[in-house]
Amino acid sequence: MDLQNDIVVRGKSYEMPFSKGILARSLMAAGLKPSIAYRIAWDIYEMLKKENIKVIDKAELRRRVYYYLISKNYDEVAKKYLLWRMVLGRRPIVILIGGASGVGTSTIAFEIASRLGISSVIGTDSIREVMRKVISRDLIPTLYESSYTAWKVLKDNYEEDNKTKYIKGFERHSEAVLTGVEGVINRCLLEGQSVIIEGTHLVPTLLKDNYLENPHIIFIMLTIYDEKLHKMRFYARGRVSSRPTERYLRYFKIIRIINEYMVETAKKKGVPVIENIKISETVDKCLNIITERLKNMIELEGLSEEDMLESV
């Protein structure tokens, strides 16, 4: 790329070439469809070129984008764009994407991260591996199982019906992982670092209330109500990853019981539930929920749109 003929965007502590991709992604996070987001990114680039601008401050670029969106009657998008600029990079947000195995938590988490430019996505499966390094199998045998097989190593599962047993095993398995999840959340909030944590172990009734009530923590539960569609997800994944399809199909009945239980616990704790049918629709619904929650957070701080414009 011919840098000396390109436009440089100046941040507080760094400079970088103007990227239409980065600008388009932040416009998509504000709710624009990809084709329109890229066209507007091009329009902004052309506008700067026409004015022969070589270096532009990030704050000036944001103001220009905001007013350009208003001029094209994208008022709602302009507000969301402003909100995102106000929040990301200034206030840490922790997004939790829960859901039973195979409903699509990792896929959706990465899509949301890409739209919002959040660079850190952590799977609870990885946190589970860390907890397995520090907690022995004798101490918490359920931790060394999968969420849908933990019931097999319960010490106290006499005369219980199967469903109760499966759920009890799943809860014991998840509790240990959640200790690690809470540690990651604490660290991110302390460092002011936004993160998305996704996985099967994010059980709303097992997470401490101070996490559920924190305005910087936004919890969303994914589900698939249709059994056939859920099963197809494992086949689809088996074609592109080393995750053993036959294992998930063998325990599919239990995974469905866990799926149902996750939705129940989400409703109990007021965590929004989204059925993950089409990736783009799921991502848009998640972004709307996140945006609403952040709007409340900013309003709680008593900030108006003008304040946000001045401060970005």
Ligand X SMILES: Nc1ncnc2c1ncn2[C@@H]1O[C@H](COP(=O)(O)OP(=O)(O)OP(=O)(O)O)[C@@H](O)[C@H]1O
Could you list the residues that contact ligand 2PG (CB under 6 A)?
Answer: 101, 125, 146-148, 199-200
Give the DSSP letter string of 202-216.
--TTTS-HHHHT-TT
Can you tell me which of 142, 149, 259, 276 binds ligand X, judged by CB under 6 A? 276
Taking the least distance from each CB to ligand 2PG, the nearer of 127 and 217 is 127
C-beta pairs of 17-20 under 8 Å, 24+ apart in sequence: 18/45, 18/48, 18/56, 20/45
Partner that binds at residue 142, options ligand 2PG, ligand X, none, CB closer than 5 to 8 Å by kind: none
Query: Does 258 engage in binding with ligand X (CB under 6 A)?
Result: no
Whole-angstrom Cα distance, residue 270 to residue 273?
A: 9
Distance of CA 177 to the CA centre of its chain: 18
Query: Does 99 engage in binding with ligand X (CB under 6 A)?
Result: yes
Strand partners, 10: 15, 57
Partner that binds at residue 146, options ligand 2PG, ligand X, none, CB closer than 5 to 8 Å by kind: ligand 2PG
Least distance to ligand X, CB of residue 43, Å: 31
Query: Does 279 engage in binding with ligand X (CB under 6 A)?
Result: yes
Partner that binds at residue 148, options ligand 2PG, ligand X, none, CB closer than 5 to 8 Å by kind: ligand 2PG
Taking the least distance from each CB to ligand X, the nearer of 152 and 247 is 247
Provide the angle, in degrees to the nearest 10, between the axes of the packed helices 20-29 and 105-116: 120
Contact 94, 83 (CB under 8 A): no
Taking the least distance from each CB to ligand 2PG, the nearer of 58 and 132 is 132
Among the listed residues 155, 130, 128, 159, the one whose alpha carbon sits nearest the alpha carbon of residue 141: 155
Please give the residue ranges that form the binding site for ligand X (CB under 6 A). 99, 101-107, 199-200, 233, 236-237, 276-279, 282
